[in-house]
Amino acid sequence: MDTTVQERVNMWLNGLFDEATKEEIRRLQAENPEELTEAFYRNLEFGTGGLRGIMGVGTNRINKYTVGMATQGYANYLKKTYPDEEISIAIAHDSRNNSRGFAEITAHVMAANGIRAFLFESLRPTPELSFAIRNLGCKGGVVCTASHNPKEYNGYKAYWNDGGQLVPPHDKNVIAEVDKITSVEEVQWSGGEELIQSLGKDMDEAYWRMAKDLSVYPDIIARQHDLRIVYTPIHGTGIMLVPELLRRYGFTNITIVEEQSRPDGNFPTVVYPNPEESEAMSIGLKKARETNADILLGTDPDADRVGIAVKDHKGSWVLLNGNQTAVLAFSYLIEARKAKGIAKPTDMVVKTIVTTDMINRVAAENQVTCYDVLTGFKWIAELIKEKEGAEDYIIGGEESYGMLVGSKLRDKDAVSAVAIICEMAAYEKDKGRSLFEKLIDLYVQYGYYKEKLISITKKGMRGQEEIAEMMDSFRKNTPGSINGSPVVQLLDYELRKGKNMITGEEWDIKLPKSNVLQFLLEDGSKISARPSGTEPKIKFYFSVNASLENAAEFDKVSSSLDRRIEDIIVDLKLK
């Protein structure tokens, strides 16, 4: 075993760690030394989004000690930033194993540092945590969740006083403070328990009222109140808020997928509790077919991502991807504001750089400003804050199933998104058509944009190096053409430089530094490459487009775009 790893193991065996932890280390020493090395070969990185990792003993795992040390560092930064003010934070957690315990540890460490901790009485969606921070005037917040990761994972997401996740300079400053905590002995584990305050139904009520006010056409819902809705929380927190919000919107025909209705950190019916995965939505699809539903919706464990399924133009159930859902939602709100006479010249929408450019076109043709930000919803939140008072934020979204309607909170919100998407379905049903038919109409109007994402997983100590090597290779060996179409622009967000590959002209990218590469082709295709910020993966995003003359040509054009994407993947040797 590496000497550094052995030193860390010995520190835990001889330090102030509980006996159960030490016993597990001894078991791994005897039975699985490779896993022990993985658990101790590094310190789990507190990144710009907080912690995320596999649960277990060790410095490279999520456990009560790594959570406590992270909280101490965060508390130290809060006290440095607000030296003469009363500080409070809000704390929530999802349905994952150990999440409640981690949330309670967070509350106790904060309280021991003299910081008031508003701790939700039981599991709650991440968006309600963001809402609570703003509602209570907190200086920050924490939610214990690993979002849509497999059951072995957990995480710790830190928030600032606007209800958004940490952005510069606070992200790097908190990381620096967390990195200073090198021993569990530096953590204030207890004391000040009177500063821990429970949150519950009152905050739920405040959230429901806010979300209900987002409704654009309550009169249409009244006519289509029996829209046949099937909803699955996929064993997560959505069950706490979504069904009641749908009822308050006025929907009366709601079927909950019973097999996935109970919060359970083992996620017994799925491999990945992620609405992006067809397997996670399969039980819901079965229920939708049985009930002849109009729409199926699913949320991930912390209810910040939403996936939907509808019947296509042939009557078959299909899962829409995040780009398609975003296009429908953005166009709905833009069109609705125009129709109701409440659109303003200052209206704006926000998307990420890897989300479909079809949204840019929809916004432009409706005279609405569309901003592109880096991947990660914290950048959407930061832009809302930057433009507050000068421009009117309507909606933001990203291809990874995240959406935020209105600015009363500052993270993606699948709870309110479910209600708005059901309203969209009711609106189209009131006109005698489906959401899928509306999507085809949008393709005819704005062009058919089609996207695909592939992720390549690289686990273990060598994994991060392999991902870095892949990105370095693309930077140093920029292809002149891809799938027979010349590369006309290279956008390097790490260097914050754009380059016209034909003329050689270069320009600065006015966004923060990020390890993302984008290749824009002459035929309108766009390929993006970026390492995941939360998983050991490198992600490749493909976007192609073509004109669609009429709905009858949909299948033909769709097939040709599929072939173009597959040809690009083969040409880049990613398959």
Which single residue is written with the structure tokens 């519950």? 200
Q: Report CA 393 to chain centroid distance, whole Å.
A: 19
What is the phi/psi pair of residue 172, to 5°?
A: -65, -35
Cβ neighbours of 226 (radius 10 Å) = 12
Closest to 528 (Cα-Cα) out of 455, 446, 447, 443: 455
Q: How far is CA 245 from CA 163, 212, 406, 418, in A?
A: 21, 7, 16, 9
Is-catalytic flag, 514? no
Q: For the CA atoms of 297, 151, 272, 159, what is the dihedral angle to 10 degrees?
A: 60
Catalytic residue among 147, 400, 407, 528, which? 147
Q: Tell me whether residue 491 is exposed, middle or buried, using C-beta atoms within 10 angstroms of its C-beta: 0 to 12, 13 to 18, 19 or more.
A: buried
C-alpha neighbours within 13 Å on the C-beta side of residue 113: 29
Q: Which residues make Cβ contacts (< 8 Å) with residue 412, sequence separation at least 6? A: 126, 127, 304, 305, 377, 397, 398, 402, 403, 404
What CA–CA distance (Å, rounded) separates 534 from 520? 26
Q: Tell me whether residue 508 is exposed, middle or buried, using C-beta atoms within 10 angstroms of its C-beta: 0 to 12, 13 to 18, 19 or more.
A: exposed
Exposure string of 150-168, with b = 16+ CB inside 10 Å and e = fewer, is ebebbbbbbbbbbbbbbbe
The catalytic residues are 147
